[in-house]
Chains A and B, each alone.
Chain A
Amino acid sequence: AQSVSQHNHHVILSEAASLELGCNYSYGGTVNLFWYVQYPGQHLQLLLKYFSGDPLVKGIKGFEAEFIKSKFSFNLRKPSVQWSDTAEYFCAVWSKGGKLIFGQGTELSVKP
């Protein structure tokens, strides 16, 4: 079965620091990958997605992710975080059964 693993449970950064959140998936075939963000008290929002093509995907709010097939990874990055980026981040993979499989989530706390 497909699975998604996020390495960091809780990341604490100061404003302007660079961010990289790890995500690894288990499936070796064609994958569709997503990063979602859940701000405190709000619903999940799509940050970015990868279906095919350029492995470097740019999303909203300055986020980007790189799909590295050989490493089964889809890490999320942002060059300079802001206090408003404080949220829970979820990596997800679209399974063969047409379902989103989520990782455990990473809580990001940005100190002003």
Chain B
Amino acid sequence: ETGVTQSPTHLIKTRGQQVTLRCSSQSGHNTVSWYQQALGQGPQFIFQYYREEENGRGNFPPRFSGLQFPNYSSELNVNALELDDSALYLCASSYTGTSREQYFGPGTRLTVT
């Protein structure tokens, strides 16, 4: 069984730039969720994708957008980066069914300077 993978591991960007983060789901999973985790905080839900459509969104502005592909991999795009966007970005995959357990990838550490 293949676990959740994310790329890149670390990224440094300048304020105002755009960034794309990538995630590959665990084998057999059809749902991907993205989270932002600031230092000392719990993960904050950004959005979820199921069958290539956004299936829920947290309290994040529209400059946070995403995609899910037919193979259930996903991208998180953030435009017009702000300093406060510096965080660990986590992707979690799950199978939409009776069990809704989510399994996290290793994360991407984004630093905005």
The answer to whether A binds B is no
Query: What residues make up the interface of A, taking CB atoms closer than 8 Å to B?
Result: none
